[in-house]
Amino acid sequence: MGLTGQDIAKHNSRESCWVIVHGKAYDVTEFLPEHPGGPKIILKYAGRDATEEYEPIHPPDTLDKYLDKSKHLGEVDMSTVEKEEKEESPEEAERQDRIARMPILEQCYNLMDFEAVARSVMKKTAWAYYSSGADDEITMRENHSAFHKIWFRPRVLVDVEKIDFSTTMLGTKVDIPFYVTATALGKLGHPEGEVVLTRAAKKHNVVQMIPTLASCSFDEIMDAAEGDQVQWMQLYVNKDREITKKIVQHAESRGCKGLFITVDAPQLGRREKDMRSKFTDVGSNVQGGAATDNSQGAARAISSFIDPGLSWKDIPWFQSITKMPIILKGVQRVEDVIRAV
């Protein structure tokens, strides 16, 4: 006989904390102090159905991977679970109206159009996460300014009747000279998460880089690929090298064609806009690790596992555990480029 909503509701405290996710019950009492997003968000849903808050942030296999099987309590009769009536705020009603009136893709002619639409239809906390830069965002503004200082110097009287934008990246032929880079928490932007990018990458023959901190599981994203579609893996290096090794070797076994190690983020930036949004409901546990203070915003709440001790001496170790090409992602000085080569 399955569990009922009343059974779960009895365990609604720090001393005994059960939650429901996707119709199954889990005992997360001992996990509370280990949760990267801190215990507060879990306790908010103690004795209740946490699926709605869990879904956008965590890959679906997170609980299977990181919670001991003895804590998997079984199926819950969802007809016995009390449904919470949420009153829609005026701000949310306005956002839903903007979503209903959102322009079609063909009406977005440039990147500024996409940005304007995203700002108007995304939840405040999601927009703060996606759009924020570190501290007072001076570097982000300078990047924007520098990009606009690039001028083309066109040649004339060149035969352009037939144009070929194709090139190769790590030996892979692609139709256009860019790729879909790794961005965390894809379900904040679309309920299907990163797999929609997988399908789009296939359609247009570009490479997708799979993020460490995806909302979808790594295997979900790989499974969404078709035929000989090429994907790369972006890696935040875990303090626990055994976890890192497992992730890298699993990516290689699934057919990833490149390992991109992020080297410019030993500590994710202090994103003040993200922090002000008070993203208290975030807490990805795709890596496991120590507790963190989620009042620091989404970026830091999901990144407590990253190893600040990563250095050049670790590169030979990576070369020893994989045959994938290794690319250092985030190199910013010529000296480091030369050393990497």
E strands, the chain, are 18-21, 24-27, 48-49, 72-75, 167-169, 172-174, 208-210, 231-235, 259-262, 326-329
Q: What are phi and psi of 24, to 5 degrees?
A: -125, 150
Domains in the chain (CATH in brackets) are 5-80 (3.10.120.10), 161-340 (3.20.20.70)
Per-residue pLDDT of the chain (341 residues; tens, 9 = 90+): 589 999 999 999 999 999 999 999 999 999 888 776 678 888 989 999 999 888 887 888 788 877 889 999 999 999 999 887 777 889 999 999 999 999 999 999 999 999 999 999 999 888 988 898 888 899 999 999 999 999 999 999 999 999 999 999 999 999 999 999 999 889 999 999 999 999 999 999 999 999 998 999 999 999 999 999 999 999 999 988 998 999 999 999 999 999 999 999 887 767 777 677 654 444 443 444 444 444 445 545 556 688 999 999 999 999 999 999 999 999 999 999 999 99
Distance between CA atoms of residues 327 and 311, nearest Å: 14
- Which residue, among 229, 210, 206, 208, has the nearest Cα to 219 in the 3D structure? 210
Distance between CA atoms of residues 159 and 2, nearest Å: 72
Kind of pairing, strands 259-262 and 326-329? parallel
- Which residue, among 330, 333, 107, 136, has the nearest Cα to 237 in the 3D structure? 330
Q: How far is CA 3 from the centre of its chain?
A: 32
| pTM for this entry | 0.80
pLDDT at site 291: 43
CA angle 271, 275, 276 (to 5 degrees): 120
Q: Which residue has the tokens 């699926």?
A: 51
| Token output for 298 | 């989404």
Q: Which residue has the tokens 């379900």?
A: 187
| Token output for 108 | 């977005």
Count CB atoms within 10 A of the CB of residue 77.
14
Helix axes of 111-121 and 124-131: crossing angle, nearest 10 degrees: 150
Kind of pairing, strands 326-329 and 72-75? unpaired
- Which residue, among 294, 270, 271, has the nearest Cα to 282 in the 3D structure? 294
Do residues 259 and 244 touch, judged by C-beta distance below 8 A?
no
Most distant CA atoms of the chain, gap in Å? 79
| Token output for 327 | 């690319």
